[in-house]
Structure 1
């Protein structure tokens, strides 16, 4: 059960930033005993891969802070973030972590289930994030975009870290993030009332 929660937390983090959870899991598995990856997932600890992920993370962090570029980046990340979510869900849910003493058996039978689950979780978070960001940029004339992006990056780091150390807390944080994003999306879709309250404008 905790293995699945770890996977959900990591996939949710990937929905906000694809490279944070992948890099975190790879580094922890390579240099610490907090994460022990099962057979078939050791490639996440490859030094060249980790270097590449670090470079991609740097590009992502910078691009996501630039108005207009952030929206283009979100479009490009529509495939990357869900894919990363599938990878970290599959690796994380089947690994031995600080919070999960026994390796989950999620991958011993239906191997595609955890990967697909991670894709879905990351995609939902990504779509909610992508729906809210243009509104923030427009309303704040571009000033709020970098601030929101920094919050998203920090939340991704927190989710990924908690997924390894405290999976239940990670899922609760992810649920809170989802509620906030959904409320913002709903508020965006509601018609604005005119000043006299008799009509609405698009």
Structure 2
């Protein structure tokens, strides 16, 4: 059976929460629920690090503006994680080349990452913090549910991931004006901090 649907789904999920993907796949492999997961993802040290980083993301991802900073820092990490996980899954299965799987997983993760980051920018234009908490919790539950579903029904999970990816792109395009407003606000705050910092210096002689 081709591992491509699992690679695609794990790529989508990696763009949302790469640490949760590594943790879940590693646990599923270590507990014997699937033989699709390579031993490298089942190692205790990998699971411990992934678990610790997942907890960090679970907190940072629910704080307004901190979530966007976290997303910016993971612009490279998430696509790389999607590519590496995809290549490892392909190597374990042998039904797909590592290069193809890495390209699929990495590109899918990159797109879903930009959807997530763009959506958060739009949400951060709202003055209340509850929408961040709701969205972050929904994303965590969605990743956990879909990755688990992909282990048993990979084709169906891949279709769902594809629909979510397209829907996310449509939403981000619809919210583009809010995202631009968020970027302008952040640039203005940086400029205000720069000017305030300059005002604290000694007066010109």
TM-score of the aligned structures, taking structure 1 as reference length: 0.81
CA displacement at 1:43 relative to structure 2: 1.8
Structure 1 residues 121-148: Cα deviation after superposition (integer angstroms, max 9, x where no partner): 1000001111111111213533211111
Residues 1:9 and 1:93: Cα distance change in structure 2 (over 3 Å): farther
Is the 8 Å Cα contact of residues 20 and 160 (structure 1) preserved in structure 2? no
Larger radius of gyration: 2
The correspondence of residues 69-148 of structure 1 with structure 2, limited to 5 A, is 69-95=66-92, 103-107=93-97, 111-139=98-126, 141-148=128-135
Q: For the Cα contact (< 8 Å) 2:115–2:168, is it kept in 1?
A: yes
Scaled by the length of structure 2, the TM-score of the pair is: 0.80
> Could you tell me which residue of structure 1 aligns to residue 60 of structure 2?
63
What is residue 26 of structure 2 aligned with on the other side?
26
Cα root mean square deviation, aligned: 1.9
Tell me the alpha carbon deviations over residues 49-89 of structure 1, each in whole angstroms, 9 at most, x when there is no partner: 11111001000111100111100000011111111111221
Q: How far 1:94 moved relative to its partner?
A: 4.3
CA drift of 1:36 comes to: 4.1
Q: Flag the 1:51–1:190 CA change in 2: closer, same or farther, 3 A.
A: closer
Pairwise mapping of residues 11-50 of structure 1 onto structure 2 (< 5 A)? 11-37=11-37, 41-50=38-47
Is 1:51 the equivalent of 2:38? Answer: no
Structure-2 separation of matches of 1:140 and 1:165: 41
**Maintained 8 Å contact 2:23/2:47:** yes
Question: How has the CA–CA distance of structure 1 residues 183 and 45 changed in structure 2, closer, same or farther, with 3 Å as cutoff?
Answer: same
Which 4+ runs in 1 deviate beyond 4 A? none
Instruction: Name the counterpart of 1:5.
Output: 5
Bigger shift: residues 150-159 or 136-145: 136-145
- Unpaired runs of 5+ residues, structure 1, are 96-102, 192-202
Distance in 1, Cα, partners of 2:58 & 2:170: 25
Match of 2:166 among 166, 179, 186: 179
